[in-house]
């Protein structure tokens, strides 16, 4: 199955990127031999020992022209989260209410998540906030559906402070009642822009490292949108997590911060399945803690993502992974060692163009695709098996469309 965890150099102090399982890689300064063996003991386990939770949310930030490719039109992006969740839960052969949004190329990463979670028998529960429609599948509404999506990040008044309080409190209550490790995934069109906004508001310089659903992330458009929102919010030099979220966040973020804080209070490990959004959630949670508590807090927190996101270099001037650089920025800012891992799944040899489009940068991550495929790999499923499963799912999707 590729290199063993025992081959990781435990004396290496700098952030590393090493292969562990078949083409899987590990990165971040928390990637010590001890931490990796501990991580493997936690996550190489039967699926019923893991609580998998998908958080869906809406933000009008997704309606900025050119900001997101999670749906080729502004109208379609309003229902992306519902369609992706249906695909994860019901699969390509299931009866689904919401059609997958049109994409410039490729296919929703929820297809990968469905295939990988199906192999290991992992069932996912869904939370929702700020959705425009009531889901056609079982889910838990965290606040009133009448609240609607968050306002656009450019307004500087994305959510009312009371809503942020409610979302974070309910997330914390759920997290603090967990009795097994938490795998958290998300679908929030426009979410990388709100991630950039809250990270920037914390004082972390990450505009060159935050990716997005576009093949070529619109760095300047995101930067200008964030600057406009933060300027309108006039938060001052050291805003609190809740102030930032109310100003430029989205509903997913306070839910996720609460979940993470609650889960760690009861010593449950957490894998954050995703990219920039999950890094932003971790940073927001760290910002609520005293510095002396932060290293212990992150000890059993990991970020699981895809190789497509990890291999991306957003700026031409740098050959290093932009996502790796994002992790490094947060590590430095909070003085903590973080652990990131990416799955080995690749689609170079696929017979399906919509899957090969991943290799061209049209799709990178979403709906926990990296974390789900990573779990499938460490529990014995090869990249070839995952690829074949995804190809079969594409055929089923085409047959039922």
For the chain, which domains are there? 5-400 (3.40.50.10210)
> Encoding tokens for residue 172?
């914390």
Nearest to 368 by CA among 175, 125, 131, 110: 110
pLDDT above 90 covers what percent of the chain?
74
Phi and psi at 144, nearest 5°, equal -65, 135
> Encoding tokens for residue 201?
């508001």
Nearest to 261 by CA among 172, 340, 189: 172
- pLDDT of 340 higher than 80: yes
Which of 66-75, 112-121, 128-137, 222-231 bottoms out in mean pLDDT, i.e. has the lowest? Answer: 66-75
pLDDT category of residue 98 using cuts at 50, 70 and 90:
confident
pLDDT at position 104, please? 81
Q: Cα angle vertex 273, ends 268, 278, to 5°?
A: 90
- pLDDT of 72 higher than 70: no
> Encoding tokens for residue 11?
């004396």
| CA–CA distance, 262 with 179 (Å, rounded to integer) | 11
Angle of helix 241-248 relative to helix 219-233, nearest 10 degrees, comes to: 120
> Encoding tokens for residue 274?
């995703």
Average pLDDT, the chain: 90
**What residues contact residue 224 under an 8 Å CB cut-off, 6+ apart?**
none
* DSSP designation for 4: -
pLDDT at position 156, please? 97
Query: Cβ-count burial of 190 within 10 angstroms (0-12 exposed, 13-18 middle, 19+ buried)?
Result: buried
220 versus 50: the higher-pLDDT residue is 50
Phi and psi at 29, nearest 5°, equal -75, -5
Beta strands of 274-360 (E only): which ranges?
301-305, 339-342
Nearest to 52 by CA among 182, 244, 176, 195: 182
| CA–CA distance, 338 with 342 (Å, rounded to integer) | 14
Range 329-337 average pLDDT: 97
**What residues contact residue 263 under an 8 Å CB cut-off, 6+ apart?**
175, 176, 178, 182, 269, 270
278 versus 78: the higher-pLDDT residue is 278
Can you give the pTM of this predicted structure? 0.93
| CA–CA distance, 164 with 124 (Å, rounded to integer) | 24
- pLDDT of 16 higher than 70: no
Contact assessment for residue 145 and residue 134, using Cβ atoms and an 8 Å cutoff: yes
Q: Cα angle vertex 59, ends 166, 208, to 5°?
A: 110
pLDDT category of residue 71 using cuts at 50, 70 and 90:
low
Three-state SS at 141: strand
* DSSP designation for 55: E
How many CB atoms are located within 10 Å of the residue 330 CB? 22
**What residues contact residue 318 under an 8 Å CB cut-off, 6+ apart?**
208, 325
pLDDT at position 6, please? 39
- pLDDT of 326 higher than 70: yes
Range 240-252 average pLDDT: 97
pLDDT category of residue 133 using cuts at 50, 70 and 90:
confident
Q: Are strands 301-305 and 140-141 parallel, antiparallel or unpaired?
A: unpaired
Phi and psi at 396, nearest 5°, equal -65, -40
């Amino acid at each position: 199955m590729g290199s063993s965890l025992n081959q990781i150099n435990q004396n290496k102090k700098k952030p590393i990127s090493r292969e562990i399982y078949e083409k899987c890689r590990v990165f971040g300064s928390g990637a010590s031999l001890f931490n990796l063996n501990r991580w493997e003991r936690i996550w190489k386990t039967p699926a019923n020992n893991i609580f998998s939770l998908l958080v869906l949310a809406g933000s009008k930030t997704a309606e900025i022209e050119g900001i997101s490719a999670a749906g080729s039109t502004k109208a379609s992006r309003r229902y992306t989260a519902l369609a992706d969740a249906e695909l994860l839960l019901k699969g390509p052969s299931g009866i689904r209410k919401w059609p997958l949004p049109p994409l410039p190329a490729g296919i929703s990463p929820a297809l990968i998540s469905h295939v990988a979670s199906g192999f290991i028998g992992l069932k996912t529960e869904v939370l929702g906030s700020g959705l425009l429609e009531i889901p056609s599948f079982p889910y838990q509404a965290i606040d009133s559906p009448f609240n609607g999506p968050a306002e656009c990040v450019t307004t500087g008044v994305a959510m009312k402070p009371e809503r942020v309080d409610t979302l974070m409190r309910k997330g914390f209550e759920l997290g603090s009642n967990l009795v097994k490790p938490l795998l958290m995934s998300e679908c929030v069109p426009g979410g990388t822009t709100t991630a950039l906004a809250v990270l920037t508001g914390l004082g972390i310089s990450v505009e060159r490292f935050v990716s997005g659903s576009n093949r070529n992330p619109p760095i300047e458009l995101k930067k200008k949108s964030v600057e406009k929102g933060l300027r309108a919010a006039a938060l001052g030099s050291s805003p609190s997590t809740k102030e930032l979220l109310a100003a430029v966040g989205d509903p997913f973020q306070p839910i996720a911060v609460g979940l993470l804080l609650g889960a760690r209070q009861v010593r449950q490990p957490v894998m954050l399945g995703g990219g920039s959004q999950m890094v932003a959630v971790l940073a927001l949670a760290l910002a609520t803690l005293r510095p002396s508590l932060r290293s212990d807090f992150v000890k059993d927190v990991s970020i699981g993502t895809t190789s497509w996101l990890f291999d991306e270099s957003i700026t031409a001037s740098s050959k290093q992974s932009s996502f790796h650089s994002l992790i490094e920025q947060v590590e430095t800012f909070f003085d903590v060692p973080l652990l990131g891992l990416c799955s080995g799944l690749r689609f170079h040899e696929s017979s399906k163009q919509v899957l090969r489009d991943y290799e061209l940068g049209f799709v990178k991550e979403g709906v926990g695709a990296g974390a789900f495929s990573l779990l499938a790999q460490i529990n014995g499923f090869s990249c070839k098996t995952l690829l074949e499963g995804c190809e079969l799912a594409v055929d089923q999707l085409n047959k039922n469309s």
